[in-house]
A = this chain, B = another copy of it.
């Protein structure tokens, strides 16, 4: 058990511009945009006739768009009818699951080439309904009726981490600051401004309006002000990821046909998935996600790599505290030690272990069902050396990881990529 019977390669990856795209774009439009951007990255080209199946990750077009049964719809738009077109769901890890199942399906010998998509159009409904819909990924009998939406659940997790390891609100802010620095360099990100720039614009606006200009010495002052209100203490607005519409597309192929598409495949050498009880009260720990540890364990075991071998990682920073938990649960740092690494700048673009070079969910945006596939898009770009603007890391990336989380840690999917 635990080994892939065939090698699997990522040969193309692209995404649409993330943002508040509705009503100009719905899932079908964003998916086609992502598809076309992914096609461009396949060195020798790829056409529908080359592709055996279309695997779609989506969290809840049911509740966001009153549209189920997305698989055949997405497949039809890109000329893949009548091929298999299943949809996969695991809350915000939905397209991480689609990617994993595609890896598995190619390894099984049933398919040689699969198009993997992640799509989510969240802004068709009000922000209140977005929060409500996301809350259906928690336990609707035990957690949801208690009013525990995700900011509240992650606030409990953050509080527990503060209590156990001495983590502070400033530590969380450092995660957001870093991710916005990266997102600024990503033309596909929803927010392309550093927090420093946002602070500066706010000051300009205050001056224009003739109001008292706040005495902000740096981003931390800004982030501690009423401009960054509490959502669920200790989490403030800038600790939360964005509400986003977006889509991403990946082309996965069997090792024995990879050469047809490119001379430089990115191999997916490890895949892992873990689960946990949906409700926090059913868990042993608030400060560590068992689903992440299990998914990572499987992926490391399959690839034969260890945490120290990973050079870059896209982690699921749905809240700033989630990035800290991931850094620890993925084995990069001991429990309670991630914060020190963040302070030292180790996870910045020019650090030892760049994390979320894309800008992360915090700045690139978080169209929930598209996020896992978008993680792989960034990884593909970094490993190919084609990341836009000043976002490309300065070393040759030979080994990378993606970490895609669902709910408050009920699902986790981890992938390892090698050149």
Question: Which residues on A are within 8 Å of B, measured CB to CB?
Answer: 1-6, 26, 52-54, 59-60, 62-63, 65-69, 71-73, 75-76, 80-91, 97, 100-101, 104-105, 107-112, 133, 136-141, 144, 271-278, 282, 290-291, 293-295, 406-407, 410-411
User: Contact: B136 with A274, CB < 8 Å?
Assistant: no
Of A84, A90, A112, most B-chain CB atoms within 10 Å: A84
User: Contact: A73 with B1, CB < 8 Å?
Assistant: no
Contact of A63 among B63, B272, B406 (CB under 8 A): B63
Of A69, A87, A91, A295, most B-chain CB atoms within 10 Å: A69
Contact of A140 among B5, B66, B407 (CB under 8 A): B66
* Complexed CA–CA distance, A108 and B100 (Å): 12
User: Contact: B1 with A68, CB < 8 Å?
Assistant: no
Contact A65 B294, CB 8 Å, known A72-B277, A86-B88, A278-B72: no
User: Contact: A276 with B5, CB < 8 Å?
Assistant: no
Of A71, A136, A141, A406, most B-chain CB atoms within 10 Å: A71
User: Contact: A90 with B90, CB < 8 Å?
Assistant: no
Q: How far is the CB of A234 from chain B (nearest CB, A)?
A: 25
Q: Which residue of B lies closest to A96 (CB)?
A: B86
* Complexed CA–CA distance, A274 and B82 (Å): 5
User: Contact: B140 with A82, CB < 8 Å?
Assistant: no
The residues of B that contact A271 with a CB separation of less than 8 Å are: 110
A-B complex: 7 closest residue pairs judged by Cβ atoms: A84-B273, A108-B108, A107-B108, A72-B275, A67-B140, A62-B62, A85-B275
Q: How far is the CB of A168 from chain B (nearest CB, A)?
A: 30
User: Contact: A65 with B140, CB < 8 Å?
Assistant: yes
User: Contact: A86 with B91, CB < 8 Å?
Assistant: no
User: Contact: B81 with A290, CB < 8 Å?
Assistant: yes
Contact A108 B105, CB 8 Å, known A85-B411, A410-B72: yes
The contact sample of 26 A-B pairs, CB cut-off 8 A, is A4-B110, A5-B5, A53-B273, A60-B68, A62-B63, A62-B136, A63-B68, A65-B140, A67-B139, A68-B89, A69-B89, A69-B138, A71-B90, A72-B291, A73-B277, A73-B410, A76-B277, A82-B290, A83-B274, A84-B273, A85-B90, A86-B88, A104-B108, A105-B108, A107-B108, A107-B109
